[in-house]
Structure 1
Amino acid sequence: MSLFWRIFALNALVLGLATALLLWAPVTVSVPVLLTEAVILVCGLAVMLVANAALLRIGLAPLDRLARLMTTVDLLRPGQRLPSPPGRGGVAELISTFNDMLERLEAERATSSARALSAQEAERRRIAQELHDEVGQSMTAVLLALKRVADRSPEPLRAEMRQAQETTRESLDEVRRLARRLRPGVLEDLGLVSALTSLTDDFATHTGLRIERRFDPDLPVLRRETELVLYRVAQEGLTNIARHAEAENAELTVRRTPGALVLGIVDDGRGIGLACEGAGIRGMRERALLVGATVDIGPGGRGGTRVSLAVPVEPGSAAPVQAAAGTGCGEA
């Protein structure tokens, strides 16, 4: 039954009952109206209004739920659906159509995000290669030239040349570090655990953050795309801690749970509070969609922020990997 006929039937039922009461009940209206008759009429009207409101509330409740979901739905949090009411009326068809639309939009969003992130990774590799080949080699040549000039310079000028050498060497190290962050070669060569170990060591060295690592020894074999998503989410999580958390300690864990591999990052900073999600967190969610993972962000156990990325893993993929890369616990 369509929404129109449902509302019409509800009102017809209420008016029919009221008419039946007037026809067969011993109720009359005098002129002028007596007080008792007025009380009866007002009570009857109140009962009709309450019954009509209750029936309409029940009938229109699915539309209210649909309106609330339409104002809060987020394609980066897939799976938000409305249960379809029984029957095949207009409301049920509307909710079913809305659920189908959400599925199409989520699929299209995942596809477009995959293309965009793939292009982004390709651009990162190109920039990292140019930094390594062009800028790195040019700065190395400058460093060698400064060394030759310093060796032939008189003593008062030699100290300044040594200082220029040291500044150039630090800049060269920074360029190489940026190239490694843009293109994690250790991830491609040695695997996830070695890449995360190198990442935490790098952050600890440059930010002063004390990072504790914990890796389960029975991590499953993962696809290259999944490892890259785990690495980028860990990288973004540590970057957010260094920029915003004002934390002194952090913990990075990778553990195996039934049906999933969970990456966890916890800090003891000031916490996320009621702050809106920025581009970094939304970037985490977009990357998680590529591998069917979910990102959960909330308060940590030590007063800071907790980031959890759960990647679904097939039950048969429990072969341990990367044993030579240093699984277990460690600190940076």
Structure 2
Amino acid sequence: MRQVQELTADNQRLLQSVVRSEKRFRTLAKSVWHVQEEERRRLARDLHDGIGQTLTALVNQLQRIYDDALGVGNLGLKHRLDGALDITRSALHDTRELSRLLRPTLLDDLGLDAALAWLARTLSERTGLVIAFHSELDEQRLHPDVETLLFRITQEALTNVIRHSAARTARVQIRHTPMLLILRVEDDGHGFDTAKVAHAERSASSSGLRGMRDRAELFGGRVEIRSAPAQGTVVQLTLTLDGPDTDAPT
């Protein structure tokens, strides 16, 4: 009996040690995640306020030279400036889009619904994929970390759809109750063998899907992926809203 009691006590100590280690790891992982998001925010600001403003000034300067050339009838210079203006405006547009994708100001200013609606519209315009978006949040704000989590998982899921699925349509849906949040991203693409993808995740050769799962687990969430060849794909995040890290800010 004494040996059994000693073994039980040892097991309890080991269990407590594992729990403490898991908490420390989760805290460290969240800290790394926050640092990454802050770096994205800084880079987005630098792109917008630095390169973006420089390109805007260049567009204005080229436009003035273009107007001068038009005024004196220098058609050769006018045609060359047409090309320069098109290239510069395209670079300015791409810079602004990259800035928003790194860290959309809509996410901080107006919340998740506005940011996801913008993401769906932007990706549709860029790729031709028809993306429908529906949310039960009704513009309700969540904790900033949760909003960032849902935006990143949606962004990653839609990026996978565009790169790999050959889908024509996709749908992003958010279901919400006081205690539960479900994000669902589905497409009508060619699908895949989930067993092969599970093996790729274990071998670390599928970092996108694994990254979604890892980020969700930091907040006690779960990502499920359902797919089959020629039957499309569903990526679903389920998150319980019952802790200080997932409640809306007061």
TM-score between the two structures when normalised by the length of structure 2? 0.81
Once residues 307 and 102 of structure 1 are traced to their aligned partners in structure 2, the CA distance between those partners, rounded to angstroms, is: 31
Cα-to-partner distance string for 1:8-47 (whole Å, 9 max, x where unaligned): xxxxxxxxxxxxxxxxxxxxxxxxxxxxxxxxxxxxxxxx
Tell me what 1:172 maps to: 92
Separation of aligned partners in 2, 1:105 and 1:280: 26
Q: Equivalent residue for 1:48?
A: none
Instruction: Provide closer, same or farther for how the CA distance between residues 282 and 99 of structure 1 changes in structure 2, counting only shifts above 3 A.
Output: farther
In structure 2, what is the equivalent of residue 134 of structure 1?
Answer: 50
Q: Deviations over 1:131-160 (max 9, x none)?
A: 011101111111112112222331123122
Residue identity opposite 2:151 in structure 1: Y
The offset of 1:248, in angstroms, is: 1.3
Letter in 1 for 2:95: V
What residue is the counterpart of 2:185 in the other structure?
A: 265
SS of the residue aligned with 1:303? coil
1:138-287 aligned within 5 A: 138-153=54-69, 154-216=74-136, 221-257=141-177, 259-273=179-193, 274-275=196-197, 276-277=200-201, 278-287=206-215
Tell me which residue corresponds to 1:303: 231
- How many angstroms apart in 1 are the aligned matches of 2:192 and 2:32? 28
Partner SS state of residue 129, structure 1: helix
| Contact preservation (8 Å) 1:268, 1:300 | no
Q: Which has the larger radius of gyration?
A: 1
Measure the CA separation in 1 of the matches of 2:33 and 2:137: 30
Specify the alignment match of 1:106 in structure 2: 22
State the secondary structure of the residue aligned to 1:310.
strand
1:245 offset after TM fit, Å?
1.8
Deviating 4+ runs (over 4 angstroms): 87-90, 92-102, 217-221
**One-letter code of the match for 2:239?**
V
Gaps of 5+ in 2: 244-250
* Consecutive unaligned residues in structure 1, runs of 5 or more: 6-86, 316-332
**Maintained 8 Å contact 1:294/1:310:** yes
Instruction: Please report how far the alpha carbon of residue 264 of structure 1 lies from its aligned counterpart in structure 2 after TM superposition.
Output: 0.5
Distance between the aligned counterparts of 2:225 and 2:102, measured in 1?
25
**Residue 121 of structure 1: which of 18, 29, 37 is its match?**
37
Q: CA deviation at 1:290?
A: 3.2
Q: CA deviation at 1:89?
A: 8.1
Looking at structure 2, the residues matched to 191 and 295 of structure 1 have their Cα atoms a distance apart, in angstroms, of 22
CA RMSD of aligned residues (A): 2.8
Normalised by the length of structure 1, the TM-score is: 0.62
Identity of aligned residues (%): 36
Aligned residues: 231
Q: Does the Cα contact within 8 Å between 1:267 and 1:302 map onto a contact in 2? A: no
